[in-house]
Structure 1
Amino acid sequence: MLTKKKKQRPRQQKLSRVILEYLVLSVLVSLFTFLFLYTTSVSIGVTYVQQRGITITQTQELVFHVWLRSICAIASILIFTVLFLFMLGQRLSYLITIIKGIGSLQESRMDYTIPLTGNDELTQLAGSINYLAASERELNRREQELTREREAWIRSLSHDIRTPLTSMLSYSELMREKLLRENQGMTQEDMLAYIDLVYSKAQQIQELSSQLTQRGNGTWENIDDIRLLFEQLAGEWEEILEDRYSCTIDLTGCESFSGQADVYALRRITDNLASNVEKYADPDAPVQLSVRSSGREVRIVQVNGKRADPGSFPPPPSSKIGIGNIQRIARIYDGRADVSDESGSFRIEILLNIRPCS
C-alpha cells in the first residue's frame, strides 16, 4: 500500500551561516576577478610588447607585475566590498522592514502582516510577530463577540423580567381598583386567583434574576405530561389577557406524552407572547393561541389583530427583543420561530422539539 509522503518544510538556515556564505561568495568572486584581470592584463601586455618589438629589462618587468597586481587587487577589493555589502544589505533592509512592520502593528491595532522573505532567524522573527498579531486579532474578535453576546443576553433577560413585573403591577392595580370601587366587592376566589398569579410572576422574576447574576443554562425537568404543562402555560397566558382581550385557546391537537423541558424558559415564551399582544394587538379583535403536537414536535401558534388606530396612546416602537427571546429559546429546543406580519394581523408560529426524559 502506497503512503503519501508529507511535504517537508525547508530546513531553516542560521543568520550567521547566511552571512558567512555571503562572505565566502564575495571572496570567491573577488579572487576570480583578480585572477581574471591579472591574467588578462599580463596576456595583453606581453602581446603588445612582442608585436612592438620592445625589449624590457627584468626590473621593468617586475615593476610592471607589481603595478598590475596592485590595480587588480584594488579592483577585486572594490568588487568584494560592493558585493558583500549588497547581499548583507538585503537582510539588513529586511530587518528594517520588520521594525517598520512592528510600528505599523502598533498603529493599526495588529491589523497588519509583515511579509516573509528568506529562511533564517529574521524570517522566523517576522513569522512569530505575525502569529502574535493574528492571535491578538483573534482574541479581540472573540472579546467583541462575547461582549455583544453578553449585552444581548442581559437585554433579553431584562426584557423578560419586565414582562412578569408589568403583569404584577397591572393585576395589583386591578385589585386595588376593585377594592376601592363602591358597591362592588371582591370575592375570596378572585382574591386568591390574583394572589396566585402575582406569586407565580414573583417566582418567575426570582428565577430570571438568578439567571442574570449566575448566567445559568436553565433548569431541565422530566415532565410526565407535556400537554398538561402547556395547558397550565396557556391558562396563565389567558389570565394575563382575558380582562382586555377576547382570548381563544385550542389544545385539541396536543397529545399527552412525557419529556424534558425548562419550565421557566417555556413560561418566558408565553409571557413574551402575552406582552406582544398587550403592546401591539387590536383590543377589538380576537386573540387565538393553539398548541399542537406531532410525535415530540410541539407547534405553538398565536394570531392577533394589529392595532390600526393608535389614538392618543400610540404603541411604543417595537425593539424586537421579545421576538428575539422567543427565537433564542426555540433554538434551545432545536426549533425555530417564524413571524408573519401582514397588514391587519400578526402571526407567530413556534416549533419546539421536546427531548425524551433522561
Structure 2
Amino acid sequence: MARTTNKKDSIYFQLLRLLVTAAFVAVLVFLVLNQAGDYLIENFYYNSDYEERKDESYIRKLQQYIDQNSLSSRDADALKSWVQRQQIVSIRVYKDGMQMFDSEYPDQELWEEEIEANDYGWEVYYTVSFADGEARVSITGIYAYQFYNYAMIVELVLSFVLFLILVLFGIRSKMAYILKLSDEVEILEGGSLDYKITVKGRDELAALAEGLDSMRLSFQDLIKQEAEMVQENQKIVTEMSHDLRTPVTSIMLYTEILKKGSFKSEGQWMEYVEKIDRKARRMKQLTDHLFEYSLMAGEEEVQLEETETCETLFYDLFSETCSYLAQQGFEVLFQVEWPQSRIRISTDYVMRIMDNLTSNIVKYADPSMPVVISAVEEGNMTGFLFENRVKKLEEETESNGIGIQSVKNMMLKMRGKCMAVQEGERFQILILFPAQHE
C-alpha cells in the first residue's frame, strides 16, 4: 500500500521552505555587504584626496563655462543652469565681501540684499575669474552618492544571484531524483524487473517511487503466476493425453476382439461390451473436465461483489456441504469461528469451488475418518482449510489434478490463492481471500 504523504513533507512545503530560507540568507548577505560597502566607501572617501580633486575638476569646468559665456558674478540664471547640469554639486559665489550667488537658492538675487560673506572653516574657497572681476567660489559635491548607488546595485545583484543559486541548488536535488527515477523506469521497461526502485524521502516523489516499486513487484508476481499457470496447463494437457490414451487403447483392443469374434461365449461378449462402455464413460468424464478447465482458463476478469462478512457469505454454503457429506456417509467436524474481517467474492465461482471440493472429498476421502473444516487467517487474508484422509483406490482414478487446478484458477481470478498439500494419506486444501479487517 502506498504511503500517505504528510503535508509538511510535501513538495509544496519543501519548495516554500526553500524559498523562505534562500530569501532570508540573501537578505542577510545583502545587509552584510551593505555595511561592508558603506564602510569601504567612507574609509576611501574621507581618507583620500578624492574630494579635493573632484572639487578642483569642477572648478576648472566652471571657469571654462564662465570664460566661454563671459559671465559675471551676477548671472544667476546661467550659473543655475550649469549647476543643474552637474547634478551633484552646489556652489556659492562671493565678491567684494558679499554673497553674489547660492545654488541652494538660485532664484533669489542675493546681491540685492547685500548678504555679507561668512567664512566657514569647513568650506574651501577657490578664486574664479568672472567678467566683472575675480570672486571666491565655495563648491560642495555629493561625490560619494554615486559610489553608494553603484555599491547598492552590486549588493542587490550579488544577493539576488545568491538567492537563485540556493533555490536552484535545492531544486537540483529533486531534479536529480526525478532523473534517477526516469532511468530506473527505463530499466524496468527493458525487462529487468529484479531492479529495485530507489525510495528517497517522504514526499510525493517518494510515494510515487514506492508505488512504482509495488507495481514492479506485482507485475513480477503476475509474470511468475502466469509462468506457473502455463507450466501447470502443459502438465495437465500431458497428463490428460496420457489418461485419454489408456481408455482409447482399451476400447480399440476390445472392439478388435469383438470384430474378429474372439470370444468364447455370450457372457464374455457382454463382459467386453461393458468394459468398452466403462472406458467410453471414463473418456467422457475426462473430456468434460478438460472442457470445464479450458472454459475457466478462457474467462475474462471476474466482477467481484460487495464486501460482506465470511459468516454471511459462507454459512448457507457450509450448511449444505455438511448435510450432503453426512448423507454420503462422512463425519464432518465443522471447527469454524467466523472471522470478523470482510471479503469480496464471486458467488458463482465460490459455488463451483465448493462443488469441486465436495466432489473430490466424496471420490477420494476415507469415510471412516472425519472431514475437518476450519477457519484460517494469514496476514491480510482470510479463508478455510479442508482436511481429510485419502482412501485406498482400487482402479481408474483421476490422477491429473484438473479439479484442484480449476479451483486455483478461480481463486486467482478472485485475487485469492489456493494451496493443496498431501502428506502420506493426509490431504489438505486451503483457500484464502483478501480481507478487509474491521
TM range (shorter): 0.5 to 0.7
What letter matches 2:288 in structure 1?
S
1:59 aligned to 2:142? Answer: yes
Partner of 2:321: none
Q: What's the offset of the Cα at 1:149?
A: 2.5
1:38 aligned to 2:27? Answer: no
Q: What's the offset of the Cα at 1:170?
A: 3.0
Instruction: Determine the C-alpha separation between the residues in 2 that align with 1:157 and 1:126.
Output: 46
1:165-314 maps to which residues of 2 (within 5 A)?
A: 165-176=248-259, 179=261, 186-215=264-293, 295=369, 300=392
What secondary structure, in the 3-state scheme, does the structure 2 residue paired with 1:149 have? helix
Instruction: Determine the C-alpha separation between the residues in 1 that align with 2:197 and 2:403.
Output: 42
What secondary structure, in the 3-state scheme, does the structure 1 residue paired with 2:185 have? helix
Partner of 1:125: 208
What letter matches 1:23 in structure 2?
L
Instruction: Give the gaps of 5 or more residues in structure 1.
Output: 1-6, 226-259, 267-291, 303-321, 338-350
What secondary structure, in the 3-state scheme, does the structure 2 residue paired with 1:115 have? coil
Q: What's the offset of the Cα at 1:8?
A: 8.6
Moved more, 34-43 or 186-195: 34-43
1:53-90 deviations in whole A, cap 9, x for unaligned?
87858624333322332332232222122212111222
1:15 aligned to 2:11? Answer: yes
Higher strand proportion (structure 1 or 2): 2
What secondary structure, in the 3-state scheme, does the structure 1 residue paired with 2:149 have? helix
Structure 1 26/293 Cα, relative in aligned 2: closer, same or farther at 3 Å? closer
1:156 aligned to 2:234? Answer: no
Checking the alignment, whether the CA contact within 8 Å between 2:5 and 2:207 is kept in structure 1 is no
Instruction: Determine the C-alpha separation between the residues in 2 that align with 1:102 and 1:353.
Output: 45
Structure 1 11/96 Cα, relative in aligned 2: closer, same or farther at 3 Å? same
What letter matches 1:83 in structure 2?
L
Instruction: Determine the C-alpha separation between the residues in 2 that align with 1:75 and 1:65.
Output: 15
Q: What's the offset of the Cα at 1:145?
A: 2.5
Structure 1 89/323 Cα, relative in aligned 2: closer, same or farther at 3 Å? same
Identity of aligned residues (%): 19
Structure 1 328/335 Cα, relative in aligned 2: closer, same or farther at 3 Å? farther
Of residues 9, 21, 27, the one that matches 1:25 is: 21
Pair member with larger Rg: 2
1:102 aligned to 2:180? Answer: no
Q: What's the offset of the Cα at 1:212?
A: 0.6
Structure 1 142/190 Cα, relative in aligned 2: closer, same or farther at 3 Å? same
What letter matches 2:236 in structure 1?
W
The aligned length equals: 248
Q: What's the offset of the Cα at 1:335?
A: 4.6
Q: What's the offset of the Cα at 1:160?
A: 1.6
Checking the alignment, whether the CA contact within 8 Å between 2:51 and 2:143 is kept in structure 1 is yes
Partner of 1:89: 172
What secondary structure, in the 3-state scheme, does the structure 2 residue paired with 1:193 have? helix
Checking the alignment, whether the CA contact within 8 Å between 1:12 and 1:119 is kept in structure 2 is no
Instruction: Determine the C-alpha separation between the residues in 2 that align with 1:261 and 1:328.
Output: 9
Partner of 1:3: none
Instruction: Determine the C-alpha separation between the residues in 2 that align with 1:70 and 1:326.
Output: 86
Checking the alignment, whether the CA contact within 8 Å between 1:299 and 1:352 is kept in structure 2 is no
What letter matches 1:167 in structure 2?
S
Instruction: Determine the C-alpha separation between the residues in 2 that align with 1:14 and 1:148.
Output: 46
Instruction: Determine the C-alpha separation between the residues in 2 that align with 1:33 and 1:102.
Output: 42
What letter matches 2:177 in structure 1?
Y
Checking the alignment, whether the CA contact within 8 Å between 2:11 and 2:204 is kept in structure 1 is yes
Instruction: Determine the C-alpha separation between the residues in 1 that align with 2:393 and 2:274.
Output: 26
1:298-352 deviations in whole A, cap 9, x for unaligned?
66499xxxxxxxxxxxxxxxxxxx99748999xx997546xxxxxxxxxxxxx36
1:6-36 deviations in whole A, cap 9, x for unaligned?
x996336553443333233222211111111
Instruction: Determine the C-alpha separation between the residues in 2 that align with 1:157 and 1:325.
Output: 6
Q: What's the offset of the Cα at 1:123?
A: 3.4
When normalised by structure 1's length, the TM-score is: 0.54
Structure 1 109/265 Cα, relative in aligned 2: closer, same or farther at 3 Å? farther
Structure 1 140/205 Cα, relative in aligned 2: closer, same or farther at 3 Å? same
Instruction: Determine the C-alpha separation between the residues in 1 that align with 2:360 and 2:266.
Output: 32
What letter matches 1:89 in structure 2?
R
What letter matches 2:254 in structure 1?
Y
Instruction: Determine the C-alpha separation between the residues in 1 that align with 2:238 and 2:156.
Output: 82
1:177-208 deviations in whole A, cap 9, x for unaligned?
6x35xxxx611121111111111111111111
Structure 1 11/263 Cα, relative in aligned 2: closer, same or farther at 3 Å? closer
What letter matches 1:210 in structure 2?
D
Structure 1 70/105 Cα, relative in aligned 2: closer, same or farther at 3 Å? same
